[in-house]
Structure 1
Amino acid sequence: MIKKAHNVEGNLCTAAEEAYNVLRSNIQFCGFNKRIKSLVITSCVQGEGKTTTAFNLALSMTRIRLKVLLVDADLRKPLITKYLGNNDSPGLSNLISEQIDFKDGIYTTDVEGLSFMPAGDKPPNPAELLNSVNFDEFLLKAEEQYDIVIFDTPPLGSVIDSAIIASKADGTLLVTKPGSVDYKMGVRVKEQLEKANARILGVVLNGVKKRDYRDYCNYNYYTGNKPRFLFTKWISRLKKYRSS
């Protein structure tokens, strides 16, 4: 039986909502011959906005009538689970450890097309659970039943959990905020994802003041069938740092 989660509140100003719609479009067009069915959202450190990005991106996906499963894969500090009031509900960890069936870990919301899987009980070995065959089977089933599966994962600067999931998913978004990390840490996180063979789709620059917007990015543009992402000076500097 699929249960009901608490009401989802996703009231954004017009500019913020449009920003998530642009992000959604970029993700849709970056798949080339393969559509993105599973997406990891992570960051370097806490407080950069990865959970907010995962949540609002999921809402944006439902606006074009996609069937979305939002998974709280932060088994150590599950923020979305806390926000939706499912703290004591079985979820991802219980499913992977074979305590519940697939359908028993999924909750509906009051947003049409959006389902949610909480983190579940805090396990003693999150990384081992996520690197198991049971997780692979869950991901396969979720991709079959939903148009896209979005994972909110822990920051990569502290634990390896996100890299494990990223190695299995179709794509990964790295969320960062100006001034939150130095370039050395940014390079380290990027290399960690690359070693895991994760497909990095791009970077979401969060918390940029309007007056500073032009200093960080240019408008998106597309050429034929090859979409080019909105790359930031932050990424350019990471590349320069690595080559120096």
Structure 2
Amino acid sequence: MLMRRKNKLNKRSVITMSEPKSINSEQYRTIRTNIEFSSIDTEVKSLIITSAGPEEGKSTTAANLAVVFAQQGKKVLLVDADLRKPTVHFTFKLDNGIGLTSLLLKQMPFKEAVLPSGEANLDILTSGPIPPNPAELLSTKTMKDVLAEAGAIYDKVIVDTPPVLAAADTKILGSYTDGSIMVISSGKTDKEKAAKAKEALVSCRSKLIGAVMNGKKQTKHSDCAYYGH
């Protein structure tokens, strides 16, 4: 597994890595615990993180949840399956020359596409080059095979997907994984769109575990809250 880091840094950061003792990091650990309690009977090993629309915090939530699961001692893979506007490689400052699309096109074996994140127990599968046909690639048996191989190696597979109302990709991935979390941005996410997003996840038989409200001002300065489905 090769390290492919970008020389140029950017403004993105993962608070659970940079400030693990902060109140915000504790909120992500609370969400982690709630996810575990929601699946006592049936383990949720693979999980998609989505939102109704863009810029509602789903990629930030996916990254931080991946980190807190890894900090718990679980072996975690974070997959960037947003093949339209990928961001995970920016967040972890990694090169995106190869990744998920490389696997879907069968250009290399799984282990050669996966990268270390810099956080113990956490590996990253970036999106790879943006394809012209994301939905077609994700709906293939090869995508199921990638998730199956990841599930055989990792304790948790967290998949960052496009907003569910923006593309069919998320509903496809929702049908392949054990559960889903929807991120809602306080004061931004339209209630009607949130309801439609929930319906879209249910329609693909994705187990909606709950919703994370992002950016809500609270007295103790926490920026996210978890609501069970």
TM-score (structure 2 length as normaliser): 0.88
TM-superposed deviation, 1:97: 1.3
What is the percentage of aligned positions where both structures have the same residue? 34
Residues of 2 paired with 1:94 and 1:230: CA distance? Answer: 36
Post-superposition CA distance 1:65-87 (Å, at most 9, x none): 10000111111111112233334
Structure 2: runs of 5 or more not aligned: 7-12
Rg larger for: 1
For the 8 Å contact 2:4–2:95, the answer to whether it is kept is no
For the 8 Å contact 2:89–2:96, the answer to whether it is kept is no
TM-superposed deviation, 1:6: 3.8
Q: Does 1:98 align with 2:97?
A: no
Alignment partner, residue 74 of structure 2: 66
Query: What RMSD over aligned residues (CA atoms) do the two structures have, in Å?
Result: 2.1
Alignment partner, residue 124 of structure 2: 116
Q: Does 1:20 align with 2:19?
A: no
Count of aligned pairs between the two proteins: 218
Partner SS, residue 176 of structure 2:
coil
Counterparts in 2 of 1:84 and 1:196: CA distance versus 1, 3 Å: same
Structure 1: runs of 5 or more not aligned: 218-228, 236-244
Alignment partner, residue 11 of structure 1: 18
Partner SS, residue 143 of structure 1:
helix
Counterparts in 2 of 1:24 and 1:52: CA distance versus 1, 3 Å: same
Alignment partner, residue 137 of structure 1: 145
Task: Please show how residues 150-161 of structure 1 align to structure 2 within 5 Å.
Answer: 150-161=158-169
Counterparts in 2 of 1:48 and 1:124: CA distance versus 1, 3 Å: same
Counterparts in 2 of 1:88 and 1:18: CA distance versus 1, 3 Å: closer
Amino acid of the structure 1 residue aligned with 2:227: L
Alignment partner, residue 185 of structure 1: 193
Residues of 2 paired with 1:122 and 1:199: CA distance? Answer: 28
Amino acid of the structure 1 residue aligned with 2:18: N
Residues of 2 paired with 1:197 and 1:141: CA distance? Answer: 22
Q: Does 1:49 align with 2:49?
A: no
